[in-house]
Each structure stands twice: as C-alpha cells, then as structure tokens.
Amino acid sequence: MKKELSNALIYPPVLCPLALTLDVIGGKWKPLIVHLVSQGVNRFSLLEKQLPGISRKMLANQLRELERDELLTREIFAEIPPRVEYSLTETGLSLLAAVMPLYEWGVQHLAHKQPRHTAIQL
C-alpha cells in the first residue's frame, strides 16, 4: 500500500484534509466541548463543571472559536438571571460523528491504560 514518495509533498500545494479538520477542532478542549454539548451539557457553567482544569477564559475562548467556525450556535435568553444555551449546528453534528470513533477508541483502551495528564468526567 506504500505510495511512491518523490521529492514532492504528498499534499501540495493544497492542504492535507486532516490538517483542515485539525484547524477546526484541533486542541485540547474542542472535541470534548462538542461532545459534551451533544450530550446536553449546553450552558457555560455546566461545561465548566464538566471540564475540570479549564479556565473561564479558555472556555470562553474555545466557545467563541467554535461559534465562529459555525460548529455551534449561541442562544441568548434575556432573563434574570441571564441564560445562554449552546447547540450544535449541522456542521457540528457532522464533525461530532467524525469524533466519535476517537471516543470509541478510548473506550477500547480504557481497560489497558490510565490517563497521564487529564482526567475528565463525563
């Protein structure tokens, strides 16, 4: 199956599709956020609880980027106290589907390995 490798790049001058995807959900938190939102963890404070170790600044930043990339939407309720709900867009759902295999891989290997850095509740 090995391809012939010349001097040329594999994906020149266009990007590797994988790099494009990583451009959107690459990072430590975004896949977790997308997955959590799909599970109904759709508010700022709820996400904060489910992501031990993340700072408010980081969470806000990641949410903004996900919104900018149209993976999720913000719905603001003018109430007291104020409320904001996040939900996945169609694009977000399609990306979630692509992320789920990573979740399944984790399930398969959870029995054999223990996490080193991050322990996150679901």
Partner DNA sequence: CGGAATCCCAAGCGATACTG
Partner DNA sequence: CAGTATCGCTTGGGATTCCG
The owner of tokens 């959870």 is 110
Q: Nearest-5° angle of CA 66, CA 103, CA 52?
A: 60
Asked if 61 interacts with a copy of itself (CB under 8 A), we say no
Which residue lies nearer to a copy of itself by CB, 20 or 60? 20
Per partner kind, with CB cut-offs from 5 to 8 A, the member of a copy of itself, DNA, none near residue 99 is a copy of itself
- Residue 42 · residue 87 · CB < 8 Å: yes
Give min distance, CB of 1 to DNA, in A: 7
Nearest distance from C-beta of residue 107 to DNA, angstroms: 26
For residue 58, with 0-12 CB atoms within 10 Å meaning exposed, 13-18 middle and 19 or more buried, which class applies? Answer: middle
d(CA 93, CA 34): 9
**Interacting residue ranges for a copy of itself, rule: CB under 8 A:** 2-3, 5, 9-23, 25-28, 31-32, 35-36, 39-41, 46, 49-50, 52-53, 91, 94-95, 97-110, 113, 115-122
